[in-house]
């Protein structure tokens, strides 16, 4: 059966990625979109698009009946699920098949067998695949700790908890089951030993219906935050030939055990002593598939389509790998603030386009990052002959990227790729647990102040379009000092830049020589070195991009507006979202403890707990389940009865939060 028109039952980056291959193969494309995605890139790139009324995933991308109806209405003859959403949903795959459409994925039966992690482990044990023995939570003792709780039907870290104290086990089981039920409609949770400092290594498989199964090398995905991958690479570094062969053989055995067809991934956990244990099989295309494509010179989506049409794999064995590839997931999130997702307009988005670099994205400059979905902006991939070369290329490309708008994890990625543990191949899933504080500290103070000076000079050079900037007109003497105040984002460090207007130039009081001062670029000389800065202003935000990094500043008024003062102890919404629940018995007059979860917000597919900033009394409550709140909205006020009433502060910080893990959807 030949596919002529393909609907992608997904959004964002993966939809755009599948469309790219379809264009190369001459296949027409259909997008589906929610109201929040009406202007999204994947909608603009598709030949046809069908609206799914609503904004939340539950009302749109998770409605299999609406997606199948959209495919039929658009005249599609096949459906590709992408990753996340309905990609591993057996009833959806069956509905696609029953509607007479070609399902670009594995057999429904294989999805069912691997959908339950408990059932999958039983199958893998029978096939001789090494795995961790499950632990009965009801019978667990301190000897079994630490334990890892996992959702049986889960993915992307949802419903996952680490238990280190036996007294915490009942509460964590309840929380994991509730999160799993909300995310997947299945609250089954199981427990297994938690492997400290383990590595996450996986094998890409591709199978056809002739019995051919390819094991396409290994990937290391150990750099994770909240059990979700951040940096991936292929091949996994540091594995000897015997271990690599063992992993390949186990992955092929796993695929054969369920009669697999199409693209899939078998995930393993490597203990510190190098012993592999089966984790799960993802019956879909993985987010990190580009690193395998770059190393093997393949298009996995093209192979998925070929197999779905009934064709065989091109050969009995895969091509030989070449070189090394590294991928970084660029997120709109603030790692220094508990990985809080960010939203808003993506004002500038430019990643270097050079040999060896690949950008997979669902955004362009001018798009808006919505609140309803995973905050991944793009995947940036580097391929080079060796691992050090690929890592260096990727770090430098990210450093040179111009990204203006929401806070991103770009600086964290650059620092991670240059960290000695990463460059030395000393990888494990606890990397960010150990190094996050160091990786998120503000950068070089001298470089930041120099960037703030460039921001001030660029703004000083701005004049109405009726004529050129004039520095001092006909005066021979420098004018009096002028001051501009900025707040560095996202950490809020204040800067006060003083300069004077001299004859045909600007004179910073810090002593730099001004070579060029224009509204969009500034060149400064200091200490015998010349520094070039590109400067972009959007409202009160000033973005400064230079060779030593990228910086964002908020221009501040000379005096603080008294109307902006906020009552001490105020808990402000750290992001736009929906209040999903309150702590039991929470009402004005209730006593609270420091760090106690008070309010649960749901935003961008993550659940955020708003924590009490200190012990005290709840004196005001402005949140209720179901309320939609904007960033900065006042949720509650906690007053410390032992403290004397302080003077009003300039502003209240967003409430402290912690977050559950997002599912892998762009």
In terms of C-beta distances under 8 Å and separation of at least 24 residues, what long-range contacts does 41-48 make, across chains too? 41/12, 41/16, 41/361, 41/362, 41/363, 41/364, 41/367, 42/8, 42/10, 42/11, 42/12, 42/15, 42/16, 42/362, 45/15, 45/16, 45/19, 46/8, 46/15, 46/19, 48/74
Burial 12-51 (b: 16+ CB within 10 A, else e): bbbbbbbbebbeeeebbbbbbbbebbeebbbbebbebbbb
How many CB atoms lie under 10 A from the CB of residue 58? 11
CA-nearest of 88, 73, 81, 108 to 11 is: 81
Residue 490: cis peptide before it, omega within 30 degrees of 0: yes
**How far is C-alpha 440 from the geometric centre of its chain's CA atoms?**
16
Q: Please, which residues have CB within 8 angstroms of residue 277's CB and are 6 or more apart in sequence?
A: 130, 131, 132, 195, 268, 269, 270, 271
Rounded Cα gap, residues 317 and 208, in angstroms: 12
Residue 467's SS3 state is: coil
How many CB atoms lie under 10 A from the CB of residue 465? 5
Task: Write the CA distances from 82 to 28, 29, 88, 305, 452, integer angstroms.
Answer: 16, 14, 10, 12, 43
Rounded Cα gap, residues 19 and 192, in angstroms: 39
Rounded Cα gap, residues 159 and 190, in angstroms: 10
- Give the tokens for residue 214: 């390819």
Whether 284 is catalytic is yes
Contact (CB, 8 A) for 5 and 30: yes
Contact (CB, 8 A) for 604 and 371: yes
- Give the tokens for residue 631: 């960033």
Rounded Cα gap, residues 15 and 362, in angstroms: 8
Q: Which residue of the set 11, 199, 284, 358 is catalytic?
A: 284
Alpha helices for 223-353 (secondary structure H): 241-257, 289-296, 300-308
Between strands 199-207 and 570-572, the pairing is: unpaired
How many CB atoms lie under 10 A from the CB of residue 84? 26
CA-nearest of 349, 338, 486 to 405 is: 349
Burial 344-373 (b: 16+ CB within 10 A, else e): eebbbbebeeeebbbbbbbbeeebbbbbbb
- Give the tokens for residue 646: 């302080």
- Give the tokens for residue 13: 């980056």
Enumerate the active-site residues. Answer: 284
């Amino acid at each position: 059966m030949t596919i002529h028109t393909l609907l992608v039952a997904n959004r964002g980056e993966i939809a755009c990625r599948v469309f790219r291959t379809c264009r190369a193969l001459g296949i027409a494309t259909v997008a589906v979109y929610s109201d929040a995605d009406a202007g999204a890139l994947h909608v603009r790139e598709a030949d046809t698009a069908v609206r799914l009324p609503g904004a939340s995933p539950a009302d749109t991308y998770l409605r299999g009946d609406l997606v199948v109806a959209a495919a039929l209405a658009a005249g599609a003859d096949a459906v590709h699920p992408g990753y996340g959403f309905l990609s591993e949903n057996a009833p959806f795959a069956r509905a696609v098949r029953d509607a007479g459409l070609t399902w670009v994925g594995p057999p429904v039966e294989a999805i069912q067998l691997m959908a339950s992690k408990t059932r999958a482990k039983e199958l893998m044990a029978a096939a001789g695949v090494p795995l961790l023995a499950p632990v009965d939570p009801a019978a667990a003792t301190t000897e079994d700790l630490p334990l890892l709780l996992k959702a049986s039907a889960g993915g992307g870290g949802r419903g996952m908890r680490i238990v280190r104290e036996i007294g915490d086990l009942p509460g964590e089981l309840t929380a994991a089951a509730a999160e799993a039920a909300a995310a997947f409609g299945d609250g089954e949770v199981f427990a297994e030993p938690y492997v400290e400092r383990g590595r996450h290594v996986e094998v890409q498989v591709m199978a056809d219906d002739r019995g051919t199964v390819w094991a396409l090398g290994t990937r290391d995905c150990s750099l994770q935050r909240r059990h979700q991958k951040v940096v991936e690479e292929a091949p996994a570094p540091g594995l000897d030939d015997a271990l690599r062969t063992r992993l390949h053989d186990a992955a092929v055995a796993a695929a054969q055990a369920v009669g697999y067809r199409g693209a899939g991934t078998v995930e393993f956990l490597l203990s510190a002593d190098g012993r592999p244990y089966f984790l799960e099989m993802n019956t879909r295309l993985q987010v990190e598939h580009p690193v395998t494509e770059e190393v093997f010179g393949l298009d996995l989506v093209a192979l998925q389509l070929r197999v779905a049409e009934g064709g065989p794999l091109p050969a009995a064995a895969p091509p030989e790998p070449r070189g090394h590839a590294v991928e970084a997931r660029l997120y709109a999130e603030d790692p220094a603030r508990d990985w809080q997702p960010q939203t808003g307009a993506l004002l500038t988005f430019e990643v270097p386009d050079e040999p060896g670099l690949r950008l997979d994205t669902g955004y362009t400059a001018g798009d808006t990052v919505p609140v309803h979905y995973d905050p991944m902006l793009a995947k940036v991939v580097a391929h080079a002959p060796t691992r050090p070369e690929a890592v260096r290329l990727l770090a430098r490309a990210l450093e040179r990227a111009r990204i203006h708008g929401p806070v991103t994890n770009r600086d964290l990625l650059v620092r991670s790729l240059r960290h000695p543990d990463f460059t030395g191949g000393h990888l494990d899933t606890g990397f960010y647990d150990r190094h996050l504080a160091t990786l998120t500290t503000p950068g070089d103070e001298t470089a930041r102040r120099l960037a703030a000076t460039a921001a001030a000079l660029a703004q000083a050079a701005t004049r109405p379009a009726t004529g050129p900037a004039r520095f001092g007109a006909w005066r021979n003497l420098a004018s009096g000092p002028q001051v501009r105040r900025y707040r560095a984002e996202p950490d809020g460090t204040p800067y006060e830049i003083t300069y004077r207007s001299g004859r045909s130039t600007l004179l910073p009081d810090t002593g730099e020589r001004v070579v060029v001062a224009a509204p969009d670029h500034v060149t400064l000389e200091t200490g015998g070195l010349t520094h070039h800065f590109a400067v972009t202003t959007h409202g009160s935000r000033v973005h400064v991009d230079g060779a030593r990094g990228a910086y964002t500043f908020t221009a501040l008024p000379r005096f603080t507006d008294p109307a902006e003062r906020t009552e001490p102890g105020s808990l402000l919404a750290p992001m736009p979202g929906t209040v999903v629940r309150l702590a039991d018995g929470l009402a004005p007059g209730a006593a609270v403890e420091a760090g106690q979860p008070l309010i649960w917000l749901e935003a961008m597919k993550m659940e955020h707990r708003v924590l009490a900033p200190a012990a005290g009394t709840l004196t005001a409550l402005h949140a209720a389940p179901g309320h939609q709140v904007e960033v900065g909205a006042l949720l509650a006020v906690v007053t410390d009865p032992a403290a004397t009433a302080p003077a009003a502060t300039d502003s209240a910080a967003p409430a402290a939060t912690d977050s559950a893990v997002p599912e892998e959807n762009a």
